[in-house]
Structure 1
């Protein structure tokens, strides 16, 4: 009866959250039975329950491939760089926004920083092409203006990790800063008033009050993002890099590799096996990192 009373009392709130609940249920929980495909030679005609069981054969497809080590290391490297630089940039933006006193300027600055998050990676890829293309790219035009030779950026694999990290920070740091800014706004203002009485500078208030009090939020968000450390940003990588094989040594990640394999071989079982591997490793990373955080910094642990 208590559950029904709760639903009745807050019915409009539950209706508001219903689309999100349905989305999570359909695309997360309802897909669990299909993990069995990872251990089958899936046949569309026979279906999920009647396809041939082949054990760990699909996992060997990935681990025995020549590119398994390369794409795994690329995935970890890029995601670690994304995590570190986005977290650092988002916290720095939140601290700067918190110090701004001009309300008009802070609204303008926040809108400017958040706007890239609403752009599709397809649009961003065209923007980047206009910047990095050899003949008419903005960057090469600047290089020519200073007497240098144009660079064929789309054949320089070593440059693209830096470019991808820069674009990821530009696109996502503004939105991520909102969470940290919300955490800052929840800090008791009497702490800052006491610091003012003691003669603390703005830098000291930032380093002695703000940063320590938002540290648990930073730790928790970092732990949650560790679960996706084995998932490359497929939308970003594929939109920007596409099928440019010259850049694969530094930009090819597990997701794009599996997508190409699925496209060429047409076997969903291989893709499901790699997806299960990514999820399992992500789960272990979250549990391991949370255990370590609980021992070293209890306030920042998830549980």
Structure 2
């Protein structure tokens, strides 16, 4: 027995503990994770049975979902072909990808520098006040925000038109003028999510060793040089993880932002119509459950491919910063 232990030590391996002993040791952690596992199983994995809906011409024959599902005709990739051959396919795909790419860049950069600014404030009470103020919009629903935006952009009594006419300009009907809406949507999205995104960076900033800054001060580094050569490089792992996770949703769009805020205005469809609003309108107007499910499955598949591909690229060049 002593020889075996010696051999194991030489080989750099430890003897494997019996399953019962490992199970007993990890039982508290397993029980702690059980509620989350049940929630994911019921809410995320059990509904995945419905992935066959996009490949069927789903019809309602009775109140029984499974009966309707098995009685509906199998159409293969017909729903996907119909989506890509529609006149709006290119527009909504373009809008979804470009908006989300812009959101990712703007939100990462803006949240990072906002967190750095809050972290550098010497008055901690003021920093907490600013942080709370930035966080409040995150809890507002898009319905409330749509009315707040309407108070600014209303053609008759909007604040923005009042300022324009006061300085001698002509009022603009913003809900029929599509040229400004890409900017409006980016600004509104950044404003609503800034507080939530900042929290992640603030937690990362609190974990940076203060001795780095003390050494930099002794070497005569300015505040900007400390941020440039210490803070930003230290935040790079967090930025990498958030970027990879954001890529999973690049083929999805925030329904409330693109439907509620523009008030479902028809003249703005060319710049506000995205995949999620297209699916909603197809479902509401035509009742086409199969087409809506096909587009949703396509979104999930593209997101999975992007997040795995981005993680592989990061893992190849910097394994320590990969997500998995």
Q: TM-score range by the shorter chain?
A: over 0.9
**What CA distance in whole angstroms lies between the structure 2 residues aligned with 1:282 and 1:9?**
31
- What is the aligned partner in structure 2 of residue 116 from structure 1? 137
Deviation at 1:97, TM superposition (A): 1.1
Paired residue secondary structure (1:94):
helix
- What is the aligned partner in structure 2 of residue 37 from structure 1? 53
Deviation at 1:281, TM superposition (A): 1.1
- What is the aligned partner in structure 1 of residue 90 from structure 2? 69
Q: Which has the higher contact order (CA 8 A, sep 6+)?
A: 1
- What is the aligned partner in structure 1 of residue 101 from structure 2? 80
Deviation at 1:173, TM superposition (A): 1.3
Q: Deviations over 1:148-167 (max 9, x none)?
A: 11111001112111000000
Moved more, 92-101 or 293-302: 293-302
Is 1:209 aligned to 2:230, yes or no? yes
User: Superposed, which structure 2 residues align to 1:136-151 within 5 Å?
Assistant: 136-151=157-172
- What is the aligned partner in structure 2 of residue 234 from structure 1? 255
Deviation at 1:238, TM superposition (A): 1.3
Q: Is the 8 A contact 1:130 1:137 kept in 2?
A: yes
CA 1:21 to 1:102, structure 2 compared with 1: closer, same or farther past 3 Å?
farther
CA 1:160 to 1:110, structure 2 compared with 1: closer, same or farther past 3 Å?
same
User: Superposed, which structure 2 residues align to 1:153-302 within 5 Å?
Assistant: 153-302=174-323
**What CA distance in whole angstroms lies between the structure 2 residues aligned with 1:144 and 1:292?**
53
Structure 2 residue ranges without an equivalent (≥5): 1-19, 62-66
Provide the TM-score with structure 1 as the length reference: 0.93
**What CA distance in whole angstroms lies between the structure 2 residues aligned with 1:228 and 1:263?**
24
Paired residue secondary structure (1:48):
helix
User: Superposed, which structure 2 residues align to 1:121-140 within 5 Å?
Assistant: 121-140=142-161
CA 1:10 to 1:76, structure 2 compared with 1: closer, same or farther past 3 Å?
closer
- What is the aligned partner in structure 1 of residue 11 from structure 2? none
**What CA distance in whole angstroms lies between the structure 1 residues aligned with 2:230 and 2:189?**
29
Deviation at 1:294, TM superposition (A): 2.6
Deviation at 1:23, TM superposition (A): 4.2
- What is the aligned partner in structure 1 of residue 111 from structure 2? 90
Provide the TM-score with structure 2 as the length reference: 0.87
Structure 1 residue ranges without an equivalent (≥5): none
Moved more, 42-51 or 89-98: 42-51
Paired residue secondary structure (2:249):
coil
**What CA distance in whole angstroms lies between the structure 2 residues aligned with 1:280 and 1:298?**
24
Structure of greater Rg: 2
